Amino acid sequence: MSRKTPSQEKEKTSNPPENIPVARLEGFHVLQSARVRAIMSWIPGLLMLLVIADWLVGAGTFSRDVFRMTGVLTVALVVLAIQVLFESVPQVLETILRRELIEQVPEGSETPFNEYLNQFQAALRSRVQWIAAGLCAAGGLFATYPLQYYMQAHQFPYGWSGMVLYYFGGQAAVVDPVLGLIIGLLAWRVGVIAYFIGLIGERFNLKIQPSHSDRCGGFRPVGNLGFNLAAIILIPSIFLAVWGFITTFFKDPALQIYVALWGGLFRQMLVLLACLSLFIFFQPLYKIHLGMEKNAETIRAELDGLSSEIEKLSYTLRSQAVTVSPQEGEETLKSIEFMKKVYGENSQIPTWPFDWKTVLSFSSAQVVPILSLVGTSGPVVDLVKGILLQSAK
């Protein structure tokens, strides 16, 4: 068996092996197909053009129906937020590796991070996604006017020919289940991303960088990813919050159809989305927090050892100040000052991958849904009506 020369050993050490995860991330995509990624990037613009074209042609399917128009624009914003999320995932994973925020196994063996990436990609391609897509498509169909009317009146508003025209003609309501199908496929991937981001905190030993400039121990990109996940839920939450408020307090005859058919559904979905946004923001980041807290305990133990050493040197100076030479004393003082500086720069150990700015941004986005839920509750509505009646008198 041939023996490797020192130059070959050096080359092996300096060049990363083929299974280093960074190389794998170059081909990592949430959506594997480049064509699908391109189509997805077109969807927000195409939806905007759909509304503009509808207004120019004069059909009025979307442009004259404020509810449907804002619904289509909301879908466009959600798809845009999802696209940003999908593009951010490989970048964040690469940042984690580049900053060495997780411990790696010795070179030459299959890294746990490669196994993690394999499982991540397998989950993204799982056939279970079609179940989620089917459920969302059914939800999109259920939200259309004829089915909502049937839930109230126990009969459809049109005959068979009218139903065909409603879904495939001027109203183009067939778009709703199609959008539901697309959103279901995207929602599956969003859920997978949330799960595997949290899995980093469970599976790997995290390495906090207390003096990192992002004030989150180097993990701020992960926190931003969590906020991006929540934003996908908050956008439709704000849409439902605004329309829940409108259908409660504005008595425009043109809006009565929404009050009768969707008013209750708005509140139910708003409660669901408000809870979901909290869960999808905190659940994966809490697991990262636990991993950071575990590493923080190790750092605190190191700082305690450093503090003990500072105290030992200080005691030596106090007790032997008469016998220690000035030169030795100066060296000891310099050592104490140096260790104090190291202690001070590392004493503030971040244990969350976000700071108060992120929390404030998330809380601010939650204000509109919460105010809508509180403002449209029965007691508050009765109170507002009483005040208005008293003012009218």
Count of positions (residues) in the chain: 393
- pLDDT at res. 240: 82
> Nearest to residue 241, comparing CAs of 285, 282, 272?
272
Q: What six digits make up the tokens of 250?
A: 């504005």
Rounded to an integer, what distance in angstroms lies between the CA atom of residue 202 and that of residue 110? Answer: 19
Rounded to an integer, what distance in angstroms lies between the CA atom of residue 133 and that of residue 135? Answer: 5
Average pLDDT value for residue range 272-278: 86
Query: Distance from first CA to last CA of the chain, Å, rounded?
Result: 103
Q: Is the pLDDT of residue 66 over 90?
A: no
Average pLDDT of the chain?
79
Q: What is the pTM of this model?
A: 0.78
Among the residue ranges 5-9, 152-156, 235-239, the one predicted with the least confidence is 5-9
Q: What six digits make up the tokens of 346?
A: 């590392």
Average pLDDT value for residue range 283-310: 91
| Residue percentage of the chain with pLDDT more than 70 | 79
Question: Residue 393 — very low, low, confident or very high, per pLDDT cuts 50/70/90?
Answer: low
**Rg of the Cα atoms in the chain:** 29
Rounded to an integer, what distance in angstroms lies between the CA atom of residue 128 and that of residue 206? Answer: 31
Rounded to an integer, what distance in angstroms lies between the CA atom of residue 343 and that of residue 304? Answer: 9
Average pLDDT value for residue range 170-193: 83
DSSP letters of 182-200?
HHHHHHHHHHHHHHHHHHH
Question: Residue 251 — very low, low, confident or very high, per pLDDT cuts 50/70/90?
Answer: low
Specify whether the CB–CB gap between 22 and 16 falls below 8 A: yes
Q: Is the pLDDT of residue 116 over 70?
A: yes
Specify whether the CB–CB gap between 69 and 48 falls below 8 A: no
Domain ranges, ordered by start, for the chain: 25-299
Angle at 367 between CA 366 and CA 373, to 5 degrees: 95
Q: Is the pLDDT of residue 222 over 90?
A: yes
> Nearest to residue 350, comparing CAs of 229, 227, 222, 194?
222
Q: Which residue has the higher pLDDT, 206 or 111?
A: 206
Q: Is the pLDDT of residue 384 over 80?
A: no
